[in-house]
Amino acid sequence: QESQASELPKYIKIVEVGPRDGLQNEKVIVPTDIKIELINRLSKTGLPAIEVTSFVSSKWVPQMADHKEVMRGIEQHPGVQYSVLTPNLQGFHSAIAAGATEVSVFGAASESFSKMNINCSIEESIEKFEEVAKSARNMNIPVRGYVSCALGCPYEGNVIPAKVAEVSKRLYSMGCYEISLGDTIGVGTPGSMKRMLEAVMKEIPLSALAVHCHDTYGQALANILTAIQMGVAVVDSSVAGLGGCPYAKGATGNVATEDVIYMLNGLGIDTGVNLYRVMEAGNFICTTLNKKTNSKVAQAFLNTGTIN
C-alpha cells in the first residue's frame, strides 16, 4: 500500500531543541549567560520554535537548574515560539511565573522507560500531564506532547506501533496541539518509521505530528525523509547535533539542525531558516563547550572559513 505522499510538504517547521534537549545531554554544564547567548543567536536565524529550558527539579536535572534565569534573561523575538518542559503542575506554575508562553509534556510509549525516567507508569504520567493541560487550557497556554521511545526502548527493546498510537492519542485528546514522536535511542529505520507513522496517523491528524529523530545509528535523515514523504511537516533537531545519547556511551544523539536544513533546502522545501546563521550559532556553542560539532554540514564548511 502506498503511503508515500505524491508531494513533499512545501514548508516544514523546524523545532530547535538544542538549548534544552541538547545541553541537558552534554557532558559539560553550561553557564547561564552562555545559554542565553546561544538562544539569542538562534532567535536570529529564522527558526520558528526554540525549546529553551526545563522546569524540572534541579535535583534531577542540574543542567537546567537555571531555568528561571534563562527564561527571564532571553530576548523573546516576535515570530519565534519559546517552549519549556513542565513535567507536572508545580513546574508549570513556575514556568508561567517566569514568563513562559508555551509548555511541553513528555510521555513515553514504554512502561519500563516511563518508570526508569520519571518513576511512574504511563497512566500515572498521563494523569499528571492532564493537570498541566487543564491549567494550560485555562490560561490559553499551548501544550506540546512528546512521546519517547516511539521506535524502540533501551529497556524493552521493540515498541509496538499501536502503543505509540495509543499514548499519542491520550496526549492529543487532553489538548496537546502537536505530538512529537521521538526515536529516543535512534534505533529506528525508514521501515520502522513508516510502520509507526501509519499507526499513529490513524489516530492523530497529520498536521499535528512532528518527528524527533536521534542519529545514534546514523539513520536520522533517512527517517526524517520517510516521515516528510508521508506528509509530516514538523521536524525537531538540535544545533550542531548537541546532546549525546544517555543510553549509549560516547554515541551521538540529536540530529543536527544544520544537516536537516541542508537536506530540506536541497529538496526545495521552505523552512525560513538561514543555514549560515545556524552554523555560526553552532560554532559559538561548540567553541564554548570545547567540542567538535556533530553536524557534518558544519564540519564540511568549517575549513573553508565560511562560518564566523
Partner 1 sequence: AFPKRVKVVEVGPRDGLQNEKNVVPTSVKINLINMLSETGLQVIEATSFVSPKWVPQMADHTEVMQGINKLPGISYPVLTPNLKGFQAAVAAGAKEVSIFGAASELFTRKNINCSIEESLERFNEVMTAARGASIPVRGYVSCVLGCPYEGKISAAKVAEVSKKMYSMGCYEISLGDTIGIGTPGSMKEMLTAVMKEVPVGALAVHCHDTYGQALANILVALQMGVSVVDASVAGLGGCPYAQGASGNVATEDLVYMLNGLGIHTGVDLQKLMDTGTFICNALNRRTNSKVSQASCRL
**Interface with partner 1 (CB under 8 A):** 4, 152, 154, 157-158, 185-192, 215-219, 221-222, 224-226, 245, 247-252, 256, 259, 262-263, 265-268, 295-297, 299-300, 302-304
Q: How far is CA 93 from CA 102, 130, 291, in A?
A: 12, 14, 35
Beta bridge partners of 103: 84, 143
In the complex with partner 1, the residue whose CB is nearer, 145 or 282, is: 282
The answer to whether the Cα torsion of 288, 60, 152, 169 is positive or negative is: negative
12 within 8 A of 271, measured Cβ to Cβ: yes
CB-nearer residue toward partner 1: 107 or 244: 244
C-beta of residue 53 within 8 angstroms of C-beta of residue 84: yes
- On whether the CB atoms of residues 307 and 47 are closer than 8 A, the answer is no
Nearest to 245 by CA among 217, 218, 223, 216: 216
Least Å distance between CB 189 and partner 1? 2
Tell me the closest approach of the beta carbon of residue 193 to partner 1, in angstroms. 9
> What ranges make up the beta strands (E) of 188-227?
209-213
Residue 35 CB, shortest distance to partner 1, in Å, is 26
Nine cell digits for residue 130:
492532564
Please report, in angstroms and rounded to a whole number, the separation of the first and last CA atoms in the chain: 48
Nearer to partner 1, 199 or 225 (CB): 225
Dist. CA 132–CA 165, nearest whole Å = 21
Q: Which of 149, 153, 176, 245 is catalytic?
A: 245
Residue 209 beta carbon to partner 1: minimum distance, rounded to whole angstroms: 19
Task: Compare residues 224 and 285 and give the one whose CB is closer to partner 1.
Answer: 224
Active site residue 153: no
169 forms bridges with which residues in the sheet? none
Closest CB 18 distance from partner 1, rounded Å: 16
**Cα–chain-centroid distance for residue 45?**
17
> How far, CA to CA in Å, does 114 sit from each of 29, 101, 123?
25, 26, 10
Complex with partner 1: residue 79 or 268, whichever CB lies closer: 268
The set of catalytic residues is 245
